[in-house]
Amino acid sequence: MSAVKSIPPEPPVAKKSLSESLKAYLDRRAIIMLFLGFVAGIPILLIFSSLSLWLREAGIDRSVVTMFSWAALGYAFKFIWAPLIDAVPLPILTKLLGRRRSWILVSQLMIIAAICIMASVNPANQGSLVLMAVGAVLLGFSSATQDIVIDAYRIELAPPSLQAVLSAMYVTGYRLGMIVAGAGALYLADYFGSTEAFYSYEAWRNTYWIMAGVMSVGVITTLIIHEPISQQVLVERETSDYARLVMVFAISVIGFVLVFANAGAVLPETEGVFSGFLVEVVRMTASLTAAIAIGYGLVKANLVAPEFARTTWVEPIADFFRRYGMKALLLLALIGLYRISDIVAGVISNVFYQDMQFTKVDIANAVKLVGVIMAIGGGFLGGILAQKMRIMRAMMVGAILACVTNLLFILLTYHPGSLPYMYLAVILDNLAAGLASAVFIAFLSALTSIRFTAVQYSIFSSLMTLLPKVIGGYSGTIVDSTSYPFFFMFTFAAGIPILALIYLVDKHIVIGDNDDIYGGDDDSGDNSDNGKEGVDLIKANPNLTQTNEPPRAAE
């Protein structure tokens, strides 16, 4: 039996012509997502590649540099505080701007503050890395919070049929933001006088100050856009209820931090790459378990109403499993592994280009400019692809391209310093990554219930980055222990099982409007399934299933 009672198939959704698909990119809602995507793309490279080059120029070891990518683990754990964003209104701001815009504005102001903290630190000074790490972690937390609200805003802004376009425009804006924070930051640092041979803290400080100023684009955008009309039924609660809910979350986070900080004294020290990874997994699992236990204990002690806590944290997860049953595990596996090839490879990419004898300007021109433009083109192709074919078929195309293009970096290791080989690898890899990102965002949007927009989407997107970013933090250690060819072959091989997962999901679960082409079990007992005999299919889009799902935004 399927998790959701399926209904007789309606006529297949008509595929859009190419002109209709392109016209959708001029929709006002698509333009809004372009600007919001731009400000979402600014912070990520200020934690990853731009920061890694800054730290390398300051003389920080490569293994330490790649570990700074863990500052972005807030993206992987944002599902923990996403329920607060759905449940807790902000004093004054929520009445002035609305639920989504108020949270977007606060997160943007926190991002600006975090960038300024990082700009105030010279990593070359002994003992300064702690404050740099604090700023980076705050930047990761604030940026992840912004992503939570923007994703919820996007899903509530338009119907499922337009989500592929909004996803593509979001990715386009995101990549433009990455150009500014990537290539732009490198150009600025070079212009202000910092090079690999002659490090200048003032150059990087000025660069990060300018990046903080660029975030004002997001503040202006948030103030002029409109609040989406939500179909969610919100229950007004006393201010003390919200305060207690936040208190439970804060105490649980403190417990997580304390266990994580002190677990190192208990767990054995190891120098091996794989054993070190396992130790960190145990450390993270113990910390999360402690945080959950603390939160559960506080709820049982009635610090917060059990019904309120259950509605906030448990109900969004229960809803997902009610709709999909045990097949939800298959979906979660696909979500957690789909981007593993390109995310793991991307963590060490800038250090790799430096080791391949390319200058900072070479990297800025090829990776941060041409590469990002190719990723934007890939995003547009992914949006068109998702409108013209079944979403799972588009997912398969993206997965194949994402892992195969990693082999090009092995070719580059045999031609260090060769710009033609560098551009070949960068262009094809980013084209594939942009396409895969656009179709994957559309896929996640189709899975998300409009009743729990922020929470469920943040769970999906957190799961998408958790394992890849944890492994990516060890990318420098893996290369030190083996070689670059082995590392990129490993990232290629990691993408192969994804193809089997996509096949299984496509075989057993129907995703989205444009996949509504199969039959299923109905009350008449007719089990015909249009060529998929014996396959028990469910309709994943809430508008196509017999659930109590509120309607999404209309065209």
pLDDT confidence band for 20 (50 / 70 / 90): low
pTM of the model: 0.73
Cβ–Cβ under 8 Å, residues 474 and 276: yes
Report the C-alpha gap between 240 and 131 in whole angstroms: 34
Q: How many CB atoms lie within 10 A of CB 25?
A: 17
- Average pLDDT on 420-448 reads 90
The pLDDT of residue 258 is 85
Q: 538 - beta bridge partners?
A: 509
The pLDDT of residue 396 is 93
Q: What are phi and psi of 538, to 5 degrees?
A: -125, 155
pLDDT confidence band for 331 (50 / 70 / 90): very high
pLDDT by residue (tens digit) across 27-48? 889 999 999 999 999 998 888 7
- Average pLDDT on 216-240 reads 79
Greater model confidence, 176 or 269: 176
The pLDDT of residue 516 is 36
- CA dihedral of 209, 363, 406, 61, whole degrees rounded to 10: -70
Q: Is 232 exposed, middle or buried (0-12, 13-18, 19+ CB in 10 A)?
A: middle
pLDDT confidence band for 333 (50 / 70 / 90): very high
* Residue 270 neighbours by CB under 8 Å, 6+ apart: 276, 279
Q: Which of 192-201, 209-218, 412-421 has the lowest mean pLDDT?
A: 192-201
pLDDT by residue (tens digit) across 277-307? 677 778 878 888 998 899 899 999 988 888 8
Rounded to 5°, the CA angle 401-464-430 comes to 30
Greater model confidence, 67 or 214: 214
The pLDDT of residue 232 is 54
Q: Is the pLDDT of residue 57 over 50?
A: yes
State CA 27 to chain mean position distance: 24
Report the C-alpha gap between 377 and 372 in whole angstroms: 9
Q: Is the pLDDT of residue 263 over 60?
A: yes
The pLDDT of residue 512 is 55
pLDDT by residue (tens digit) across 528-543? 343 333 334 434 433 3
The pLDDT of residue 272 is 64
- Average pLDDT on 94-99 reads 90
Q: How many CB atoms lie within 10 A of CB 507?
A: 13
Helix locations, 158-238, DSSP H: 160-179, 185-191, 201-214, 216-224
The pLDDT of residue 133 is 87
pLDDT confidence band for 17 (50 / 70 / 90): low
State CA 189 to chain mean position distance: 27
Which residue pairs, CB below 8 angstroms and at least 24 apart, start in 523-530? Answer: 524/8, 526/8, 530/9
Tokens coding 247: 């208190």
pLDDT by residue (tens digit) across 354-372? 889 888 788 888 887 888 7
Packing angle of the helix pair 49-57, 201-214 (nearest 10 deg)? 160
The pLDDT of residue 164 is 78
Q: Is the pLDDT of residue 113 over 90?
A: yes
Q: 510 - beta bridge partners?
A: 539
Mean of pLDDT over the chain: 81
pLDDT by residue (tens digit) across 484-530? 999 999 989 988 999 999 999 988 887 754 333 333 333 333 433 43
- Return the half-sphere exposure (C-beta side, CA atoms, 13 A cut-off) of residue 230: 18
